[in-house]
Structure 1
Amino acid sequence: MTDPIVTPKWVLARMYEPDLVIVDCRFTLGRPDAGREAYAASHIPGAVFLDLEADLSAPVREHGGRHPLPAPEQLAARLSRAGIGNAHRVVAYDDQGGMYAARLWWLLRWLGHDDVYVMDGEFAAWQAGGFPVTDAQRTAVPAAFVLNVRDELIADVDQVRRALGDPGVLLVDSREASRYAGVQEPIDAKAGHIPGAVNRFWKDVLDDQGRWKAEAALREQLTPVIRALDDGRDAVVYCGSGVSACPNVLALYRLGYPQAKLYAGSWSDWISYENNPIAKGEER
């Protein structure tokens, strides 16, 4: 299995190869224009920009969470307009530890496209390396993107409900510990977590320099999830809106567990149903 995490030097060596599409995924929650403005000011030469909310999510409705999954056909059309087709390799970067880049990585896998990578160390590592940047925007040539949707990579709210109390399923909450425990909730309307979920904060897949941890450290961080998968159980990973769970799914993929599922609507979808139960504190 090819490692989906690549270094800035890897990108530099391949950035002008015609089958490589570099995607800038920078985004700031609460400042919807910040990513596009950062891209307009400076980005990796040849990169195209895809916005989390405008391009990689559907409009918010009553259910589906804060960043609902786009319809596969609509996402494929958007990727095609960005010059991404089935024959292309894709490498994504952001400035938030790989969280938004991992969202694109997961979306492409969901649509059946595996030749996709996340640049380690985000845009800051590219700049720190003294590599070229530009404000010139690439004119994308549309490419053919044929869908091969993998529904087995997704869990919806009904599947998560059935997972409650099911020893064959482990729920994994990717938010920081205080939000998981219900001590604070700065974003969503209700605090707490889905009953039975274990907490594995997504940022703990990164080291102190913001780079992806080595395999041994990742295994230690995700030990309960790995044990569950090794025992033949399912793992369903969620976060606040289906975005910051993606680095945990990516980490499991790197460790040889591509079967981990994403609850795409995540906590913000779960609490949109009045009767869904909520737990607080630590799980035993």
Structure 2
Amino acid sequence: MNSMNPIVSKKWLLARMYESDLVIVDCRFELGNPTAGREAFAISHIPGAVYLDLEADLSSPVGEHGGRHPLPDPDVLAQNLGRVGISNDKVIVAYDDQDGMYASRLWWLLRWLGHDSVFVMDEGFGVWKDSGYPVTDAQPVIIPSSFIPAIRHEMLADVKEVQQSIGNSNVLLVDSRDASRYVGEQEPIDAKAGHIPGAINSFWKQVLDDHGAWKSDEQLREHFSPITEAMDTGREAIIYCGSGVSACPNVLALHKLGYPTVRLYAGSWSDWVSYPENPVATGEE
């Protein structure tokens, strides 16, 4: 497998789903209905898949700062991974039914902990099922394992670094939310509307085509040209969204194009507005 290409097809997964070194992870989740993903998993999932929950397993409890889905403590995350049989020598394939947003969060977290053999299944569970691929309601047999983290601190940007990046021509901030939230027309979730001053907008769902599949490298290259051109001239890119989840498909897509050094502001907008002194911009940049 090309480690630069983190996307695998359902056909690829079908051919390998019973291999002993593979762990398939179901990451389905619904914001506002936190038990929906686990309930959907109990009804049907890809055979052998284990379930990891965005809020219970892949985030820390919410505090004053850190955003709505704070990064999990690395040791706690490593324990959660080991509990479902993920060790450092396993190949991980994640899927969801939410356009790859939650699967991409797991992809990012595993890479942050130093694990490279992690992939996201294209198109998601609904397409897998509708295509007549096998599903089951059987609970997987899990052999617990241990996962030893080797944290890549350089993948992360914290609020201080983002504060320092404002007005810094060496850094490009990228907001992954939809345009109406970016310009501050509406804000359904967080305390303030708008974006971090200087950030450009690149809505994360635009990494997908009209059928919900990941775009080709050629299409992604065209879509991301403002970001890749900046990086090609030596600028650093920091990607954020509302809570550090939907930015992950943008990070993954840029990685796929050969830009593995983009950084995630994990707390994102929900962390940014938790500091009253942080400036807020509205409208287009």
TM-score greater than 0.5 by the shorter chain: yes
Question: AA paired with 2:231?
Answer: L
CA distance in structure 2 between the partners assigned to 1:143 and 1:151 by the alignment? 24
Pairing of 1:17-36 with structure 2 (within 5 A):
17-36=19-38
Residue 236 of structure 1 aligns to a residue whose secondary structure is strand
Structure 1 residue 61 displacement after superposition: 0.2
Q: 1:134 aligns with which of 128, 133, 136?
A: 136
Structure 1 residue 215 displacement after superposition: 0.8
Q: Alignment identity in percent? A: 67
The equivalent residue for 2:197 is: 195
CA distance in structure 1 between the partners assigned to 2:78 and 2:31 by the alignment? 24
The reply on whether 1:229 has 2:231 as its aligned counterpart is: yes
Structure 1 residue 84 displacement after superposition: 0.1
Structure 1 residue 147 displacement after superposition: 1.1
Give the number of aligned pairs. 283
CA distance in structure 2 between the partners assigned to 1:189 and 1:162 by the alignment? 22
Q: 1:113 aligns with which of 112, 115, 138?
A: 115
Structure 1 residue 94 displacement after superposition: 0.3
Runs of 4+ residues deviating >6 angstroms:
none
Structure 1 residue 129 displacement after superposition: 1.9
Provide structure 1 residue ranges, at least 5 long, that are not aligned to the other structure: none
CA distance in structure 1 between the partners assigned to 2:210 and 2:105 by the alignment? 22
The equivalent residue for 2:43 is: 41
Residue 61 of structure 1 aligns to a residue whose secondary structure is coil
CA distance in structure 1 between the partners assigned to 2:223 and 2:102 by the alignment? 21
Pairing of 1:178-217 with structure 2 (within 5 A):
178-217=180-219
Residue 22 of structure 1 aligns to a residue whose secondary structure is strand
Question: AA paired with 1:280?
Answer: T
The equivalent residue for 1:153 is: 155
Please list the CA deviations of residues 144-203 of structure 1 after superposition, one character each: whole Å capped at 9, or x if unmatched. Answer: 211110000000000000000000000000000000000000111110000000000000
Pairing of 1:1-284 with structure 2 (within 5 A):
1-2=2-3, 3-283=5-285
Please list the CA deviations of residues 118-157 of structure 1 after superposition, one character each: whole Å capped at 9, or x if unmatched. Answer: 0000001211221110001113111121111000000000
Greater Cα shift, 103-112 or 128-137: 128-137
Question: AA paired with 2:257?
Answer: L
CA distance in structure 2 between the partners assigned to 1:146 and 1:37 by the alignment? 30
Provide structure 2 residue ranges, at least 5 long, that are not aligned to the other structure: none
CA distance in structure 2 between the partners assigned to 1:141 and 1:50 by the alignment? 15
Structure 1 residue 216 displacement after superposition: 1.1
Indicate the RMSD between aligned Cα atoms, in angstroms.
0.6
